[in-house]
Amino acid sequence: MRVDVLLFEGFDELDAIAPYEVFRLAARRDGVDARLVTVTPADRVEARSGLRVEPDGTVSDSPEALVVPGGGWNDPDGPGVRREYDRGDLPEVIADAFAAGATVASVCTGAMLLAAAGLLEGRPATTHHTALADLRDTGCVAREARFVDDGRVLTAGGITSGIDLALHLVERECGPDVAASVARELEYERDV
């Protein structure tokens, strides 16, 4: 499974890095390839709390999974999801990846970018509790949940739920033994 974790200025660190670590640990046990990517080439991306990350490249032409972090939805003046939502470039890339067959997953307010991409209309979805009303306004069936799996579209609630979402994807794609092994290595107790 080829997984691209999409970075942008102002993303929430844990939204991206936690799933990335889950996928990288799964790579030691199964055929998973996870990369940190941007839409356009960038030497460095600065996250919401100041972490600077050197991406591995840009979104591939055919990722099997695209993970979209959140961060910055409730801060319209700073970098993050709100700015990317208004700009429209990321939603277009997300929609293109989905149209090409990728499974698309979001963590936290990254769900707002999936909504802007047109992927959540009529679907069950979740996001950080502070953005649930906004998500509901996009026409999805908003739920309070750690994560929601609707086939090729998955959404996770706030921040740490990205670990649950990533482990769920690993289990779905690589099997329960691989997911259990990764969770154990992380010392993470799953609530499944």
Instruction: Tell me the C-alpha distance between 142 and 126, whole Å.
Output: 6
Which residue is catalytic, options 67, 68, 104, 108?
108
Q: Is 174 a catalytic residue?
A: no
> Which residues have a catalytic role annotated?
108
